[in-house]
Amino acid sequence: MKTKQPLVRRIIIAFTLMTLIVSGGFSLGIVGIVHFIEEHLVTQHMAEELDSILQKDLAQGLPPRLDAKTRLYASHIPGYEIPANFIGLEEGFVEIVDETGDYYLFILDTPQQRFILVQEQAEFEARENALFNVVFAGFILSGLVAWLLGWMMARTVIAPLARLAQQVRHHGQLHTLAPNLAPDYPDDEVGHVATAFDETLGQLRSSLERERFFTSDVSHELRTPLMIIASSAELLETAELNEREHRQLDRIKRASAEISELVETFLLLARANTKQNPLSGNATLEEVAHEQAKRWAPRFADQGLNFRLIVEEPNDMLFHGGFLSTVMSNLIRNALHYTAKGEIRLLLSANGFRVEDSGQGVPSAQQDDIFKPFVRGSEAQGEGLGLGLSLVKRICAHQGWEVRMYSLPTEGSCFEVTLS
């Protein structure tokens, strides 16, 4: 599993763990060596001392010469009887630590009897415990020192990378006059990352610039023919037309108004910067909804569909009318394309609005891609390029709104827009 810890913390943890493993290995080695020396050297010393007592003292009928911390016991020598707590022990070296004290025992069995040489080890045990305490303290201290050194090293090593990350997060890097980052770094791994970032950012700047120029140029060039179409339609209204011709003229006027609205939206998206202050609001949600209901009512009537505008909760906040109108219009048009019969509902709430339809719905396999450009559902009716929902998603991201799509429990789909 990939870790999500900060890089500095990972370096500190790795450095500290490495030190703890190494120092722990040395500590365990010291403890093992002490026990090895304790068992083998003490065994050898006591065996030599017991042999000396048997050969030089007891063999000549002399009492054993022992220091104050050493005692001798024998199974068949009067005055040297073996204590009860030492009976039953195996031959060889034995270490005993109990409430009576700490002892080393060396047991020797001969054909005639058993000899036990006992040495008090309280002083040795105290020194051994002191040594173990020092080793443990050194282990803890090495861990703390490793953490401190790891922190200092990480801060020093990561400083260029942290500075690069801070510069990358800086919003001004998208500006065309922002300086490149690579000249501030040496020709190492961090410098290579800075160079790659500069190259990628340059490509992104060029792409954004081309998009702004293309959108603004196309929108600007479309304004003149749209004005001609709109003025021509106004002149036609003054002429004597029959009912069929009036319907055709209304369609021309609606199409011209829709294109003009899209042109204005594209211009605003091309000129606006999402990091700047949001555009001031000039329309309420209900105003835009009633305008859209009036605009789309004839289209629904022509196709035999029922359209309902339902105000669930009031919302008096002001929003950008052009953007909100475009979003709502594209969602209503999308519902119209996916609904062959039944009704379409536009529901207003305190947080936004929903567009619900009674159509076939969008298959679950296509729901993740429905907001991508040039993607249309398999059940879509009428003409279209699949750009409407993509535009909705882009406007919502630009304004800080949220749009999501889900299937209704009975039938149809729901597109919900949360307005901030």
Burial letters 200-218, b for 16+ CB under 10 A, else e: ebeeeeeeeeeeeeebeee
Q: Give pLDDT, residue 276.
A: 44
- CA separation, residue 25 to residues 14, 22, 47, 286 (Å): 16, 5, 32, 74
Average of pLDDT values for 353-377?
A: 79
Instruction: Write the burial class of residue 181 (CB in 10 Å: 0-12 exposed, 13-18 middle, 19+ buried).
Output: buried
Tell me which residue of 299, 375, 380, 373 sits closest to 339, measured CA to CA: 380
DSSP state, residue 271: H
Q: Give the residue with greater pLDDT, 346 vs 113.
A: 346
User: What are the φ/ψ torsions at residue 168 (nearest 5 degrees)?
Assistant: -65, -40
Residue 361 has pLDDT above 90, yes or no: no
The helix-helix angle for 321-338 and 285-302 (nearest 10°) equals: 30
CA distance 91 to 110: 10
Find out whether 103 and 89 touch, Cβ atoms under 8 Å: no
> What is residue 91's three-state secondary structure?
coil
Measured in residues, the chain has a length of: 420
Q: Give the residue with greater pLDDT, 402 vs 73.
A: 402
Tell me which residue of 265, 254, 263 sits closest to 299, measured CA to CA: 254
| 241: alpha, beta or left? (left if phi > 0; alpha if psi -120 to 50) | beta
Structure tokens at 199: 């190259």
Instruction: Write the burial class of residue 316 (CB in 10 Å: 0-12 exposed, 13-18 middle, 19+ buried).
Output: exposed
Distance, CA of 199 to chain centre: 27
CA distance 261 to 268: 11
Residue 177 has pLDDT above 70, yes or no: no
How many CB atoms lie under 10 A from the CB of residue 361? 22
CA angle 75, 80, 82 (to 5 degrees): 50
CA distance 101 to 121: 8
User: What are the φ/ψ torsions at residue 297 (nearest 5 degrees)?
Assistant: -55, -45
Structure tokens at 156: 């020093």
Average of pLDDT values for 256-277?
A: 68
Read off the pLDDT of residues 275-300 as tens digits, 9 standing for 90 and up: 444 456 788 999 999 999 998 888 88
Q: Give pLDDT, residue 347.
A: 94
Average of pLDDT values for 66-74?
A: 83
Average of pLDDT values for 238-243?
A: 81
Q: Give pLDDT, residue 311.
A: 93
Q: Which of 8-22, 168-182, 394-408 has the lowest mean pLDDT?
A: 168-182
Average of pLDDT values for 62-90?
A: 82
What percent of the chain stands above pLDDT 90? 14
Domains of the chain: 7-148 (no CATH), 189-269 (1.10.287), 278-418 (3.30.565.10)
CA distance 134 to 131: 5
Residue 257 has pLDDT above 90, yes or no: no
Which range of 89-98, 105-114, 211-220 scores highest in mean pLDDT? It is 105-114
What is the chain's mean pLDDT, rounded?
81
Q: Give pLDDT, residue 173.
A: 61
Q: Which of 122-126, 166-170, 308-312, 333-337 has the lowest mean pLDDT?
A: 122-126
Q: What are the strands, taking DSSP E only, across 64-142?
A: 70-74, 92-98, 101-109, 114-120
Distance, CA of 408 to chain centre: 32
Read off the pLDDT of residues 96-147 as tens digits, 9 standing for 90 and up: 777 777 778 888 888 888 888 888 776 677 777 888 889 899 889 988 988 8
Q: Give pLDDT, residue 374.
A: 63
Query: DSSP of 349-383, one letter per residue?
Result: -SSEEEEEE-S----HHHHTTTTSTT---TT--S-
Q: Give pLDDT, residue 1.
A: 47
Residue 377 has pLDDT above 80, yes or no: no
Average of pLDDT values for 296-312?
A: 89
Q: Give the residue with greater pLDDT, 2 vs 240.
A: 240
pLDDT grade for 380, boundaries at 50, 70 and 90: low
